[in-house]
């Protein structure tokens, strides 16, 4: 084989490899597998309406260590304080959220999700009596930056009763 033939083969091979990598890079960028810009520049609402939200960011499950402070005999009585592990979830695609709690927001009765900066706020109207008062809504927040979880009930007279405070981490499932 002559030098010019070898050089020609190397140039053609290099061009084919470069075209292949360019095509794969374009596909990865177009499908949202990679991003050239930082996603932290987008607000939660922009990411919620963006078409390039990855599937793992559409539906997130958290594992939370929660501190409960629940009234026992009406709002004026002493609170029962205890710790418990629980799961919580945010579904950005369906704009819904849930936690494994004792009240109205659960996996089967999800609340409406609204993103406010780094915080995800999930709320649901309610109409049940608890602690001797009528509860009109339940809400919880998860701060996606710090993992802080707060849950509260709003009662008929407008006051909020904070019941659960804790910290959550994203649950990562093993690939099997």
Looking at the fold, whether 94 and 151 belong to one and the same domain comes out as: yes
Tell me the pLDDT band of 1, cut-offs 50, 70 and 90.
Answer: low
Looking at the fold, whether 84 and 157 belong to one and the same domain comes out as: yes
Looking at the fold, whether 30 and 59 belong to one and the same domain comes out as: no
Looking at the fold, whether 20 and 68 belong to one and the same domain comes out as: no
Looking at the fold, whether 17 and 83 belong to one and the same domain comes out as: no
Nearest Cα neighbor of 167 from 86, 77, 48, 51 is 86
pLDDT in tens, 92-139: 999 999 998 777 788 888 999 999 999 999 999 988 887 788 889 999
Looking at the fold, whether 29 and 116 belong to one and the same domain comes out as: no
CA dihedral angle for residue 94, residue 59, residue 139, residue 80, rounded to 10 degrees:
150
Which of the given ranges, 5-19, 25-39, 62-76, has the highest pLDDT on average? 62-76
Residue 90: which domain range?
55-170
Residues 6 or more apart in contact with residue 11 via CB below 8 angstroms: none
pLDDT, the chain, mean: 81
Nearest-angstrom CA–CA distance, 141 and 97: 10
Give me the percent of the chain exceeding a pLDDT of 90.
39
Would you state the pLDDT for residue 122?
A: 95
Looking at the fold, whether 9 and 71 belong to one and the same domain comes out as: no
Looking at the fold, whether 94 and 162 belong to one and the same domain comes out as: yes
Is residue 155 one of the residues assigned to a domain? yes
| Tokens of residue 121, six digits | 């706020």
């Amino acid at each position: 084989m002559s030098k010019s033939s070898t050089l020609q083969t190397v140039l053609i091979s290099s061009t084919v490899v470069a075209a292949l990598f360019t095509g794969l890079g374009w596909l990865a960028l177009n499908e949202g597998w990679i991003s050239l810009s930082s996603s932290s520049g987008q607000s939660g609402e922009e990411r919620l309406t963006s078409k390039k939200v990855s599937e793992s960011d559409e539906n997130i499950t958290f594992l939370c260590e929660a501190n409960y402070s629940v009234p026992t005999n009406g709002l004026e009585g002493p609170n029962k304080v205890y710790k418990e592990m629980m799961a919580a979830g945010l579904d950005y695609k369906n704009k819904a959220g849930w936690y494994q709690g004792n009240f109205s927001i659960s996996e089967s009765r999800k609340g409406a999700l609204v993103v406010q900066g780094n915080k995800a706020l999930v709320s649901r109207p309610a109409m049940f009596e608890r602690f001797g008062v009528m509860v009109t809504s339940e809400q919880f927040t998860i701060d996606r930056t710090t993992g802080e979880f707060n849950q509260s009930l709003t009662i008929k007279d407008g006051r909020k009763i904070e019941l659960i405070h804790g910290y959550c981490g994203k649950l990562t499932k093993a690939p099997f």
